Amino acid sequence: MLSERHLEVVLAIVYEYIKTGEPVGSRTISRKFLKDRSAATIRNEMSDLEVMEYLYQPHTSAGRIPTPKAYRLYVDAIMRRQRSFPADSDGWLRELRARRRDAEEALGYATRLLGKITNYIGVAALGPVEETVLQRVEFIRMGHRTALILLVLKGGLIHHKTVVLPCDMTQENLDELSGRVSTVAVGRPWGDVRDTLQAYVEDALERYADNCRTAIREMDGILTEQPFQFFTGGTHNVLGMPDFNDLGRLQAIMGLLEEDESIGKLVQGCSAEKGLCITIGDENPVFQMRDCSIVMASATTGGRRAIVGLIGPVRMDYERSISVLEGILGTLSDNGESEEGGR
């Protein structure tokens, strides 16, 4: 198995390779990290590590490059360490805090910020509100047989949708309808009242039964579907990187980041577990991203689950990425001020 020194060597190689991007030779390790051992000794270790699939050589007589397996080792190691905020992003964090009121705007800004600070790609997914409690319901007549459904949720989130009703209604009728719906539905979780409401309108409002059914169906659609929203920022950052010199692959990646479903797939691994989550290279569910790693974490902002992350090359600076992400996340999340690791 892995001896203590094997571990030292492989971690050193990952560290060095992340910094330089060049295959790492035995001399380098001997000179910079394990000063009391000669290059030849290191070479033997490296040879072992190669058969264990922690390293590989692009060709004989080149240095070694870490495999995803080695990165995993490295990442697990630094996850145990304590980190501190990067100092340079303080001003931006203030700016971010100012936008925290609107979750969508905040996440949009956060992704751009992540991109700017780290030079990787920032991504975010904003989930539905944790508990959907209606605060206000309005039906507004827009034209013949079309009405605007307007729902204000507790917490200030607003949903609206223009719908076509089976038959025309005056604004007065609609007001009456929204009044009745309000008395039943406002202040309680939607899940609890939906069926009650259904029964109630069937019973009391048989005059507009069709319209009511449509309206409630639409409301239910709005409130239970509540799709994730996705954000990206700084996609252009990875353009110059030597790790992405294959433009075809890079194009595939950029293409994915324009589709909501793909981003959804990427972050879904994180949605389960709490806290930081890192997928390296081909660990992640979309094969086009095999050259990328994703560092992500979840938070609650404005009562909604959010996943914020960074996409970079497998050879990304995980340590710094984690720090920055935690900084952003701390600022973003509902339990306010810096709450972890801080300086």
Q: How far is the CB of 58 from DNA (least distance, A)?
A: 7
Q: Burial-class residue 136 by CB neighbours within 10 Å (0-12, 13-18, 19+).
A: middle
Tell the residue number behind the tokens 């689950």, with chain if given.
305
291, 281 Cβ separation under 8 angstroms:
yes
In terms of residues, how long is the chain? 343
- Distance from chain centroid for Cα 122: 8
d(CA 10, CA 145): 69
123, 263 Cβ separation under 8 angstroms:
yes
The single residue among 6, 37, 112, 145 that binds a second copy, judged by CB under 8 A, is 112
Residue 61 contact, options DNA, a second copy, none, Cβ 5-8 Å cut-off depending on partner type: DNA
d(CA 295, CA 79): 11
The single residue among 250, 267, 277, 314 that binds a second copy, judged by CB under 8 A, is 250
Nearer to a second copy, 254 or 324 (CB): 254
**114 to each of 1, 31, 233, 328, how far by Cα in Å?**
39, 35, 7, 8
Interacting residues of 94 by C-beta distance below 8 A, sequence separation 6+: none
Q: How far is the CB of 307 from a second copy (least distance, A)?
A: 21
The single residue among 62, 98, 167, 247 that binds a second copy, judged by CB under 8 A, is 247
d(CA 54, CA 87): 34
What are the start-end ranges of the E strands in 179-222?
Answer: none
* φ, ψ for residue 16, nearest 5 deg: -65, -40
Q: Does 301 bind a second copy (CB under 8 A)?
A: no
Q: How far is the CB of 253 from DNA (least distance, A)?
A: 23
Nearer to DNA, 39 or 222 (CB): 39
How many residues touch DNA under the rule CB under 7 A: the total is 25
Residues in 38-97 at the binding interface with DNA, rule: CB under 7 A? 38-41, 43-44, 46-47, 50, 57-64
Binding mask 5-24 for DNA (x = CB under 7 A): -----------------xx-
Binding mask 147-186 for a second copy (x = CB under 8 A): -x-x-x---x-x-x-x------------------------
Q: Does 262 bind a second copy (CB under 8 A)?
A: no
Q: Which of 267, 269, 293, 268 is nearest to 280 (CA)?
A: 293
Bridge partners, residue 148, by sequence: 140, 162
Residue 112 contact, options a second copy, DNA, none, Cβ 5-8 Å cut-off depending on partner type: a second copy
Q: How far is the CB of 75 from a second copy (least distance, A)?
A: 28
Q: How far is the CB of 144 from a second copy (least distance, A)?
A: 14
Which residues make up the interface to DNA (CB under 7 A)?
22-23, 25-28, 36-41, 43-44, 46-47, 50, 57-64
Residues in touch with a second copy (CB under 8 A) = 101-102, 112, 135-136, 138, 140, 142, 148, 150, 152, 156, 158, 160, 162, 233-237, 239-240, 247-248, 250-251, 254-255, 257-258
